[in-house]
Chains A and B, each alone.
Chain A
């Protein structure tokens, strides 16, 4: 949004300044300096990708652990309720583990389809990746 607004603004400024070559020079100089400043910036695409990967790693690791806890907790409470200790605790502990692993698989599948989407989009610029 702001990008287009800024672009339009820059165009307008350039149009206004067309008559004075001195100011045109100034603008070109500004562009050059801006380019240099942008080149100095340390935020590279790899850094962004790395922090994204770290976010996913946090997500996956907690998903795995929390599944066990939630399954175990449900089993424990049901056991207390039905007085069947420890049958349901054990059963739901395993089901919780399954749920945790299933969550991790789901995240991985999602990552894979995202990567394929990105691949397809870069090969065929006409096809827009559909929002899931």
Chain B
């Protein structure tokens, strides 16, 4: 039986060293480049006609733009328009990485926690900086719930701070765990199909077809959840209510 975790192995394609650090171009980097190339192709080449009646490509580019624009408007309000480019890039990057991972023989970038954690850390640090830049030290009031007895305050502030610190972790773990679990599952059932052969292999095969559909839904959903939580955190930092 093939090892189901083998698909997550990082392979160096081009060996590079930068200031004594291993900065090799790996299969992970390759798929990130493909994802960015795909997004650029979709948004720039797809929009080249700027037709009133859009072509299919232009339609996809417009739909994704509007989808994210509505998300930002609904969750952050007009103050969030400034941050739309970032959230759009983030959503498209995660979506493309997830979807590219669904093609056979490809590598799923988002199935590595270091990648998702780096994305979440950018969001977390960025949002915290925005909060302090906008409200100064008043942003610390974010950790003090209003209308509670003073005796309980120390406890609640600690809980609030922990709850704030869970944000980058839950953001990254959710995406990584979903992608890794899904792909491991697919591999395990793929091995069942081969192992059981022509006689018994049909049942896991049928399951796999359904599960692939679910995985595509999850790939989209996780990109959506990642983007919408970024919007919610940004809204908290800008407007400071819970």
* Residues 52-79 of B at the A interface (beta carbon under 8 Å): 52-54, 62, 66, 69, 73-78
Whether B135 sits at the interface, judged by CB under 8 Å, is no
Closest A residue to B158 by beta carbon equals A95
B166-209 interface bits toward A, Cβ cutoff 8 Å, 1 = contact, 0 = none: 10011001100110000000000000000000000000000000
Whether B6 sits at the interface, judged by CB under 8 Å, is no
Nearest CB in chain B: distance from A114 CB, A? 10
Q: Chain A residues near B221 (CB, 8 Å)?
A: 51, 54-55, 58
A62 touching B53 in the complex, CB below 8 Å, given contacts A51-B221, A67-B166, A132-B235? no
The main secondary structure of chain A at its interface with chain B is: helix
Total interface residues in chain A, CB < 8 Å: 30
Q: Chain B residues near A99 (CB, 8 Å)?
A: 159-160, 162-163, 166
Q: Chain B residues near A103 (CB, 8 Å)?
A: 163, 166, 170
A132 touching B241 in the complex, CB below 8 Å, given contacts A58-B225, A92-B162, A99-B162? yes
A1 touching B66 in the complex, CB below 8 Å, given contacts A55-B225, A70-B169? yes
* Contact across chains for A131 and B74 when beta carbons are under 8 A apart: yes
Whether A16 sits at the interface, judged by CB under 8 Å, is no
Q: How far is the CA of A41 from the CA of B222 in the complex (A)?
A: 24
Nearest CB in chain A: distance from B77 CB, A? 4
* Contact across chains for A62 and B170 when beta carbons are under 8 A apart: yes
A70 touching B242 in the complex, CB below 8 Å, given contacts A5-B52, A58-B225? no
A62-97 interface bits toward B, Cβ cutoff 8 Å, 1 = contact, 0 = none: 110111011100100000000000000000100110
Whether B229 sits at the interface, judged by CB under 8 Å, is yes
Nearest CB in chain A: distance from B61 CB, A? 11
Q: Chain B residues near A62 (CB, 8 Å)?
A: 170, 173-174, 177
Whether A106 sits at the interface, judged by CB under 8 Å, is yes
Closest A residue to B220 by beta carbon equals A51
Whether B13 sits at the interface, judged by CB under 8 Å, is no
Nearest CB in chain B: distance from A57 CB, A? 10
Binding site for A on B (CB under 8 A): 52-54, 62, 66, 69, 73-78, 155, 158-160, 162-163, 165-166, 169-170, 173-174, 177-178, 217, 221-222, 224-225, 228-229, 235, 239, 241-242
Binding site for B on A (CB under 8 A): 1-2, 5-6, 9, 51, 54-55, 58-59, 62-63, 65-67, 69-71, 74, 92, 95-96, 98-100, 102-103, 106, 131-132
